[in-house]
Every structure is written in structure tokens, then in C-alpha cells.
Amino acid sequence: MNRWLVVYSSVTGNTKKIAEAFCEEVGGTLARVEEAKEPEGYDAVAIGYWLWRGGPDPKTAAYLSQLSGVNVAFLETHAADNRSEHSVTAFARAAARLGKDCRVLNVFECQGQVPEAVREKRAKLEAEKPADPHAKSQGWKTSVGHPDESDVAAAKEFALRTDKKLSYFLKKDNA
């Protein structure tokens, strides 16, 4: 196994759950983004974040910009529909925040349960303004119960695949 620093930002616990699963699978060091240190001595950083206005949350965005020359994997949780344009373009926004010479190894996404108050707000918006783009998305409805056991299992599989990919790049870089 390679040396992983797993950094996450989580308000509701959704992203933390996915970051913990990744970390457990690769034997990494887990840190909240507020407490994350420089990734010196690590082969890669897995960065877990929740979506805020179509990209990584503000704390994670600030952390991403501090990184340079690092191998990175993204762990994204969101209320959008899986593989929606919103969730996919958020990866590009996260990558654009990275400092110089970072390599994005892999990306993982899953829904995270939206808090009840937000679901109520979306239901009201859907009823009052059905043409609003936020009302059209059904992710806030289907997010209930996520991340679930299958999401955690998928995160663990992702961790193993990404660690294998990292080994390939490290071997290639050192050749």
C-alpha cells in the first residue's frame, strides 16, 4: 500500500463516512480539512468534499489551492443526481483549484443525504417555481439514506483501484 493522507470536509457526516471508508481500505491518515497538514511524506492525498454552488465547499477550495506537485483523488458527496452534469462539472472546478503540478488520479462521487430543512425548502420551491433548475433536480429526494452500504462499498473499491493506479504512476515516475 502507498502512503495516503485523506483530508475531508463534512457538515452532515456524509463526506466523513466516505473518507473514512477510503482511509480504512488504504491504511491512510485521516484529517479534517481544518486540521490538514502539508502532504509531505505522503504519496497522495484523497480529498473529500461536499458540493457548494457547483464546486468544492469553501474550506476545501482553499486547501486545494495550497497543494502543489501532489497526486490527488477526489471524493465528492452531493445532493445532485449521480453522474449529473452538476456533479461531473464540480470535479473540473475542484481540479481548477489545485495548485501547480498536481496530478488527479481518480474521482469518486456519491449522493449524501440532504438535511430535512433543505428537503422541505426544495419541496416548497418545486411546488411554487417548478421551472427553477434547483426544483427540477430530483437528487434532494433520492439522497435520503445516502451514503448507504453500497456507497461505502463502492468507496472502498474506488480506494483500492486508485491505490493501484497510484502505484503505477509512482513506479513510472521513479523509472
Could you report the per-residue pLDDT of 39-90, keeping only the tens digit for each? 999 999 999 999 998 999 999 999 999 999 999 999 999 988 778 888 899 9
- Pairing relationship of beta strands 55-56 and 44-52 according to DSSP bridges: antiparallel
- Residue 81, pLDDT score: 77
- Residue 161, pLDDT score: 98
Note whether residue 94 is domain-resident.
yes
CATH code, 105: 3.40.50.360
- Residue 71, pLDDT score: 98
The range of the structural domain enclosing residue 33 comes to 4-114+143-173
**Count of structural domains, the chain:** 1
- Residue 135, pLDDT score: 63
Note whether residue 125 is domain-resident.
no
- Residue 86, pLDDT score: 82
**Rounded to two decimals, what is the model's pTM?**
0.92
- Residue 136, pLDDT score: 67
Cβ-based burial of 133 (10 A; exposed 0-12, middle 13-18, buried ≥19): exposed
Note whether residue 133 is domain-resident.
no
Note whether residue 26 is domain-resident.
yes
- Pairing relationship of beta strands 103-111 and 71-78 according to DSSP bridges: parallel
Angle CA 108–51–55, to nearest 5: 90
The pLDDT mean for the chain works out to: 93
- Residue 134, pLDDT score: 64
For the chain, what percent of residues have pLDDT higher than 70? 98
Q: Per-residue pLDDT for 5 more than 70?
A: yes
- Residue 174, pLDDT score: 86
Strand partners, 57: none
